[in-house]
Amino acid sequence: MHKEVISDREGICLVILFISGSTLAMPTGAAAGRDLWLAILFAIVIAIPILLIYAKLLSLFLGKDLFDILEYGFGKIIGKGIGILFIWFAFHLGVLSIRNIGEFPVTVSLPETPIPIFTLSMIMLAIWIVKEGIEVLGRWANIFVLFNAPIPSMIILMLIPIMDINNIQPILYDGINPLLKGTFEAFAFPFAETVLFTMIVSSLKTKKSSYNIYIKGLLLGGMLILGVSLTEVLVLGPDLYGATFFPNHVVARKVDIGETLQRMEVIVILATTTASFLKMSVCLLAVCNGIAKIFNLDDYRGFVTPIGLLMFNFAIFIYKSINEMTMWASSIWPYYAFLFQVILPIVLFIVVMIKRNSVST
Amino acid sequence: MIVVLIILGYIVIGIIEIVPLVKKNQKRELMLYSILFGVAFVISVLLGLGVKIPSPAKPIEKVVRMVIGK
């Protein structure tokens, strides 16, 4: 079997699409209210050192992924145990994004259609692309990033006439606490979820690639999220932003230039669907890769389908309604994900550094 | 009715995916595949019958709330 390699450019596109995945649709950091843009900015700044740790881990062990590094760091049994926890995390994130992609069209445009129709068609495609491997996923991202970066920017430009600067003034009116809470949410919801890339990107070109991919992807994807969220708050105001399930869609409906350029929400649905599709494919790939590593199998392709079907099933019964989903995503998810995004990688990093130093001296 | 469709769907997927695995004689992969496939099949059928399956989100929520003390 030949070794799969993805180029830096493809990696950056993957990270951009992954970050913007569900976040283009669902509101993040709504707790910060009118200071949302500050919260997202802070979240990007805080995410940089954490992502540098992931990148450092990947570049220390070129050609290996998180599960190999866990085994190196903690030994065979504990390493595999923590690996299983990470697999669950990736699985849960995949389930969340599948549910998200199912709720989105049902809520905004097709209320009579059952959710499984959308999720099943998406999971079929995800199973297919994961079976083709990360190279195909990278090339796919390389093309579809065009739908996600320039088109929202165009919509932002079209929305300038109805923006109201008073929606974000006065800055820090409610004090620092809501800002910190929003920062925490925004940090956990899109940015630090990129920990999943340590589970799949075992095929980089050089030692510098991981830094390149993580930092450039974070900055570009973060800028996209920042621009879109700022527009949403400027147009809708902080209260409406927190109250709608999919503010991006609501905002795009408001585009109306000379009564000819209208109904831009179709473009938003396109962008959201492609990005969320990539997000769930990455999650599926991470789960499959992890299970293959835990059971010492050479290839993960053999059992992509049952895992995809499991994800599809879980997505149906994990939350009862969209209300429960948004509540979970904003109030439980950041704390739950903190363990996987920050605590475990930092512990692993420290252990690995100590081990390496003691070996070399 | 929907259960019949689910069973048919799983049979089709099974024929497409399991037969090559059996031919290649990969025992470990076949076992793993059958376990995962069986679990997915059971959950699908239960959902098709309208059984309420307890969501894993609830216990996680409880643990998280316990840890952060809210």
Query: Residue A125: pLDDT above 90?
Result: yes
B18 lies within 8 A of chain A by CB: no
- Residues A180 and B65: their CA atoms lie apart, in Å, by 19
The partner residue sitting opposite B47, judged by closest CB among A92, A306, A313, is: A313
The string of pLDDT tens digits covering residues A312-332 is: 999 888 888 888 888 888 888
Where are the domains positioned within chain A?
A: 8-360
| Amino acid at site A15 | V
> Which of A297, A303, A318 is facing B57, going by the closest CB pair?
A318
- Chain A residue numbers with beta carbons less than 8 Å from the beta carbon of B1 are none
List, for residues A47-92, the tens digit of each pLDDT value.
999 999 999 988 888 878 888 888 888 888 998 999 999 999 999 9
The answer to whether residue B66 neighbours chain A at the CB level (below 8 Å) is no
Q: Could you give phi then psi for residue B51, rounded to 5 degrees?
A: -80, 140
How far A339 CA sits from the closest chain B CA (Å)? 10
Both tokens of residue A182?
Answer: 């929003």
Element (H, E) at A242: helix A238-243
Residues of A in contact with B29 (CB under 8 A): 297, 302-303
Q: What is the DSSP letter of B50?
A: T
Q: How many domains would you assign to chain B?
A: 1
Q: Which residue has the tokens 């008073």?
A: A166
Is residue A273 over pLDDT 90?
A: no
Among the partner residues B26, B29, B61, nearest to A332 by beta-carbon distance: B61
Q: Do A306 and B61 touch (CB under 8 A)?
A: no
Architecture of domain A8-360: Up-down Bundle (1.20)
What is the average pLDDT across A199-204?
79
pTM for the model stands at: 0.92
Quick count: other Cβ atoms within 10 Å of Cβ A5? 14
Q: What is the pLDDT of residue A312?
A: 92
Reduced to 3 states (helix: H, G, I; strand: E, B; else coil), residue A224 is helix
pLDDT tier at B8, thresholds 50, 70, 90: very high
Minimal-distance CA residue of chain A relative to B21: A302
Gyration radius of chain A's alpha carbons: 20
pLDDT value at residue B70? 61
Q: Judge contact between A285 and A130, C-beta under 8 A.
A: yes
Q: For residue A58, how many other CB atoms are within 10 A of its CB?
A: 25
Is the Cβ of B55 closer than 8 Å to some Cβ of chain A?
yes
Residue span of the structural domain in which B53 resides: 2-68
Question: At CA A178, angle to CA A175 and CA A179, rounded to 5?
Answer: 85
Mean pLDDT of chain A: 86
A66 vs A254: CA distance, rounded Å: 44
Q: Do A302 and B64 touch (CB under 8 A)?
A: no
Residue with the two structure tokens 């998810």:
A333
For A85, A106, A168, A229, A253, the CA distances from A246, given in Å and listed in that order, are 30, 11, 19, 11, 12
3-state secondary structure (DSSP) of residue A29 = coil
Measured CA to CA, the distance from residue A103 to residue A109 in angstroms comes to: 10
The answer to whether residue A1 scores a pLDDT higher than 60 is no
Nearest to A57 by CA among A273, A315, A346: A346
Q: In A24-114, which ranges are continuous DSSP H helix?
A: 36-60, 66-74, 76-108
